[in-house]
C-alpha cells in the first residue's frame, strides 16, 4: 500500500481521536450519593430519571411531564422517606429526547448510566419504544406517563409500564361513544400522521365500524401544519354526522375554528390530546360543543385532584398542559413500589410494582400482566360555555 495513502488515512484516524477526546474535556462528574441532611443525619440520594421532548414543537408537553415528576419528588422529599433503614432524598435526572427516537436511546443510556432507581418517560410512543429496550437490558423500571401505542407493552419486557390507557382502550370507548351516544352514522376521520394520531384514529375507526358507523373518508394532516381548510372542505362536501381527529390540541384548536368558519356543522370528537385548557383558548367560541375523551376520571372528582391542580399552578405558575397528572401518578406509583418493597433496587421492587395498587390523582393505578393500566377508565367531556363539562366515565372501576 502506498505510504502517502496510509499517512492520509492515519491522519483521519488522528482526527477522529481528537474529536472524541473532546468528550473527555467535559467528563461527567460522578455525584456522591451520600450527603448530609439538615439535621446532620446521613441521607441517601436516590435518582429518578425523566425523559421527554424539552425542545421542539411539543416541548411544552415535555416540560409539563417534567413538572409532574418534579412535584411528586418534592412532595416525597418533604414527607421524608425511609427505605431500607436509610433516610432517602429523591432527585430527578431529566433529559431532553427531542422527540427523536435516536436521541431517545442516547438519553436512555445516559439515564441508565446515572444509576437511576427508575424512569418516568418517555412522552411519545416513537421514543418510548426504542428506549424501552435499553431500560429493559439494564433492568431499570420504566413507567411511561403518556405513550399510548399498543406495541410498547407488547414486547414482553417486565420493566415496561404505563399509567395511561393505550390507543386500543381509548379508541374503543371513543368509537362506541360516537355511534352509540352521539348517533353518528357517517363519520370522517382525520389523523396527524404521528404514531399517536394514527394509533388512536385506527382504533377509533375499528370500534366505530364495529358499532355500526360508516367511515366515509379518512383524511390526513401533518404535525407541523395549522391549515386544514383543504381537507375540511373535502369533508364538508361529504357532510358527515361526525368528524373525529387524532391530533393534539395545538392542531384541534385551529381546526375547530376552521371547521366552523367553513360552515361545516358536524359534531367534533377527539382524544386526550385535545381535552385541555389550551384547546379552549385556541378554538375560542368555535370550540363550543366539541367532544373529547381523557384517560382516567376527572381530576376534580378524585380525592386529591383539585389539590394537585392547585399545587401545580402555584408551583410552576402555569396551567397544567396535558399529561402532568399522569407523570405525577407514575412517579408516585414508582415511589410507592419502592417503599412497599423497602428497596430502590429495580430487581427487588419490580415484582412489587407489577402488583401495586396506588391511588393516584388521575386514576387508581394497577397494572395488568403486560404492564398496561388495569381497567383503563376513559372519561368523556364536552365544551359547554367555554369549559370542559364532564359527561361520563366508561370502563375502569375495581
Partner 1 sequence: MTGHFISRLSILKRDRRAVWVGYVLVAVGLALLPFVVDNTVGRTWVRIIDFALIYAMLALGLNIVVGFAGLLDLGYIAFYAVGAYTWALLASPQFGLHLPFWLILPIGAGVTALFGVMLGAPTLRLRGDYLAIVTLGFGEIIRIFLNNLDHPINITNGPIGINRIDPISVGGLDLTRTHQFFGIEFSGTHLYYYVLLGLVMLTIFICVRLEDSRIGRAWIAIREDEVAAQSMGINTRNVKLLAFAMGATFGGVAGGLFASFQGFVSPESFVLLESIMVLCMVVLGGMGHVSGVVVGALLLAVLPEVLRSTASPMQEQLFGKVIVDPESLRMLLFGLALILVMLIRPTGLWPSPIRKREFERTD
Partner 2 sequence: MDIFLQQILNGLVLGSVYALVALGYTMVYGILGLINFAHGEVVMIGAMIALTVMTILVGSTAGLPVALIVALAIAAAIAVCMTLAYSIERVAYRPLRNAPRLAPLITAIGMSILLQNVAMIIWGRQYKTFPRLFSSEPHTIAGANITDLQIVIIIVSAALMAALLLLVHFTRLGRAMRATSENQAIAGLMGVNVNKIISATFVIGAALGAVAGVLVAANYSIAHYSMGFMLGLKAFTAAVLGGIGNIGGAMLGGLLLGLIESIGAGYIGDVTGGFLGSHYQDVFAFLVLVLVLVLRPTGLMGERVAERA
Binding residues for partner 1 (CB under 8 A):
3-20, 22-28, 54-55, 95-96, 99-102, 105-106, 109-110, 112-114, 125-126, 129-130, 133, 149, 151, 155, 193-195, 197-199, 218, 220
Residue 135: Cβ-neighbour burial (10 angstroms; 0-12, 13-18, 19+): buried
* Distance in angstroms (rounded) separating the CA atoms of residues 319 and 342: 35
* Distance in angstroms (rounded) separating the CA atoms of residues 269 and 171: 12
Residue 262: Cβ-neighbour burial (10 angstroms; 0-12, 13-18, 19+): middle
Residue 25 or 300: the one with the smaller Cβ distance to partner 1 is 25
Q: Considering the rule CB under 8 A, would residue 230 count as an interface residue with partner 2?
A: yes
Residue 133 or 225: the one with the smaller Cβ distance to partner 2 is 225
- Smallest separation (angstroms) from partner 2 to the CB of 282: 5
Q: Which does 35 bind (CB under 5 to 8 A by kind): partner 2, partner 1, none?
A: none
Sign of the alpha-carbon torsion through 121, 125, 126, 129: positive
Q: Considering the rule CB under 8 A, would residue 278 count as an interface residue with partner 2?
A: yes
The number of residues in the chain equals 398
Residues between 152 and 171 that touch partner 2 (CB under 8 A): none
Residue 62 or 118: the one with the smaller Cβ distance to partner 2 is 62
* Distance in angstroms (rounded) separating the CA atoms of residues 89 and 74: 9
**Eight-state DSSP code of residue 268:** E
The alpha carbon of residue 33 and the mean position of all alpha carbons in its chain are separated, in whole angstroms, by 29
When binding is defined by CB under 8 A, the residue of 35, 102, 229, 265 that contacts partner 2 is 229
Residue 59 or 106: the one with the smaller Cβ distance to partner 2 is 59
Q: Considering the rule CB under 8 A, would residue 130 count as an interface residue with partner 2?
A: no
Q: Which does 198 bind (CB under 5 to 8 A by kind): partner 2, partner 1, none?
A: partner 1
Residue 130 or 395: the one with the smaller Cβ distance to partner 1 is 130
Residue 118 or 325: the one with the smaller Cβ distance to partner 2 is 325
* Distance in angstroms (rounded) separating the CA atoms of residues 251 and 271: 12
- Tell me the window of 72-80, 118-126, 226-234, 288-296 that interacts with partner 2 (CB under 8 A): 226-234
Q: Considering the rule CB under 8 A, would residue 386 count as an interface residue with partner 2?
A: no
Q: Considering the rule CB under 8 A, would residue 263 count as an interface residue with partner 2?
A: yes
* Distance in angstroms (rounded) separating the CA atoms of residues 329 and 324: 9
Q: Which does 286 bind (CB under 5 to 8 A by kind): partner 2, partner 1, none?
A: partner 2
Residue 137 or 222: the one with the smaller Cβ distance to partner 2 is 222
Angle between helices 59-79 and 305-316 (to 10 degrees): 110
Residue 56 or 139: the one with the smaller Cβ distance to partner 2 is 56
Q: How many residues bind partner 2 (CB under 8 A)?
A: 43
Residues between 295 and 334 that touch partner 2 (CB under 8 A): 318, 321
Q: Considering the rule CB under 8 A, would residue 285 count as an interface residue with partner 2?
A: yes
Residues between 32 and 51 that touch partner 2 (CB under 8 A): none
Q: Considering the rule CB under 8 A, would residue 234 count as an interface residue with partner 2?
A: yes
Q: Considering the rule CB under 8 A, would residue 265 count as an interface residue with partner 2?
A: no
C-beta neighbour count of 111 within 10 angstroms: 28
- Helix, strand or coil, per DSSP, at residue 380: strand
Write 135-140 long-range contacts (CB < 8 A, 24+).
135/108, 135/159, 135/160, 136/160, 138/112, 139/346, 139/347, 139/350, 140/49, 140/111, 140/112, 140/116, 140/346
* Distance in angstroms (rounded) separating the CA atoms of residues 258 and 284: 11
Q: Which does 281 bind (CB under 5 to 8 A by kind): partner 1, partner 2, none?
A: partner 2
When binding is defined by CB under 8 A, the residue of 281, 301, 313, 387 that contacts partner 2 is 281
Residues between 48 and 107 that touch partner 2 (CB under 8 A): 55-57, 59-60, 62-63
230 CB-side CA count, 13 A: 7
* Distance in angstroms (rounded) separating the CA atoms of residues 276 and 17: 50
Phi, psi dihedrals of residue 127, rounded to the nearest 5°? -95, -30
Asked if residue 106 has a cis previous peptide bond (ω within 30° of 0), the answer is no
- Residue ranges binding partner 2 (CB under 8 A): 55-57, 59-60, 62-63, 193, 217-222, 224-227, 229-231, 233-234, 236-237, 249-250, 253-254, 257-258, 260-263, 278, 281-282, 284-286, 318, 321
Amino acid at each position: 500500500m502506498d505510504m502517502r495513502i496510509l499517512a492520509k488515512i492515519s491522519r483521519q484516524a488522528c482526527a477522529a481521536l481528537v474529536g472524541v477526546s473532546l468528550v473527555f474535556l467535559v467528563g461527567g462528574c460522578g455525584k456522591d450519593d451520600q450527603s448530609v441532611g439538615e439535621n446532620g443525619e446521613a441521607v441517601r440520594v436516590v435518582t429518578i430519571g425523566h425523559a421527554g421532548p424539552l425542545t421542539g414543537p411539543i416541548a411544552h408537553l415535555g416540560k409539563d411531564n417534567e413538572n409532574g415528576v418534579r412535584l411528586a419528588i418534592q412532595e416525597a422529599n418533604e414527607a421524608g422517606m425511609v427505605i431500607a433503614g436509610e433516610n432517602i432524598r429523591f432527585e430527578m435526572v431529566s433529559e431532553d429526547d427531542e422527540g427523536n427516537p435516536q436521541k431517545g436511546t442516547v438519553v436512555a443510556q445516559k439515564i441508565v448510566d446515572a444509576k437511576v432507581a427508575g424512569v418516568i418517560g418517555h412522552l411519545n410512543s416513537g421514543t418510548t419504544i426504542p428506549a424501552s429496550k435499553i431500560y429493559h437490558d439494564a433492568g431499570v423500571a420504566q413507567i411511561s406517563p403518556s405513550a399510548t401505542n399498543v406495541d410498547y407493552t407488547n414486547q414482553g419486557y417486565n420493566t415496561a409500564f404505563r399509567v395511561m390507557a393505550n390507543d386500543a382502550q381509548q379508541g374503543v370507548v371513543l368509537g362506541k361513544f360516537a355511534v352509540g351516544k352521539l348517533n353518528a352514522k357517517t363519520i370522517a376521520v382525520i389523523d396527524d400522521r404521528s404514531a399517536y394520531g394514527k394509533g388512536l384514529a385506527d382504533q377509533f375507526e375499528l370500534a366505530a365500524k364495529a358499532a355500526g358507523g360508516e367511515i366515509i373518508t379518512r383524511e390526513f394532516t401533518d404535525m407541523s401544519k395549522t391549515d386544514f381548510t383543504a381537507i375540511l372542505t373535502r369533508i364538508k362536501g361529504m357532510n358527515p354526522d361526525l368528524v373525529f381527529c387524532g391530533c393534539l390540541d395545538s392542531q384541534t384548536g385551529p381546526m375547530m375554528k376552521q371547521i366552523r368558519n367553513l360552515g361545516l356543522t358536524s359534531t367534533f370528537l377527539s382524544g386526550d390530546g385535545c381535552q385541555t385548557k389550551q384547546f379552549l383558548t385556541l378554538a375560542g367560541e368555535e370550540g363550543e360543543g366539541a367532544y373529547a375523551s381523557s384517560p382516567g376520571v376527572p381530576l376534580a372528582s378524585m380525592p386529591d385532584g383539585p389539590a394537585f391542580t392547585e399545587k401545580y399552578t402555584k408551583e410552576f405558575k402555569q396551567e397544567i398542559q396535558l399529561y402532568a397528572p399522569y407523570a405525577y401518578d407514575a412517579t408516585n406509583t414508582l415511589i410507592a413500589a419502592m417503599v412497599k418493597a423497602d428497596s430502590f433496587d429495580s430487581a427487588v421492587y419490580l415484582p412489587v410494582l407489577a402488583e401495586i395498587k396506588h391511588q393516584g390523582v388521575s386514576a387508581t393505578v394497577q397494572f395488568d400482566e403486560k404492564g398496561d393500566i388495569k381497567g383503563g377508565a376513559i372519561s368523556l367531556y364536552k365544551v359547554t360555555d367555554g369549559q370542559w363539562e364532564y359527561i361520563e366515565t366508561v370502563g375502569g372501576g375495581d
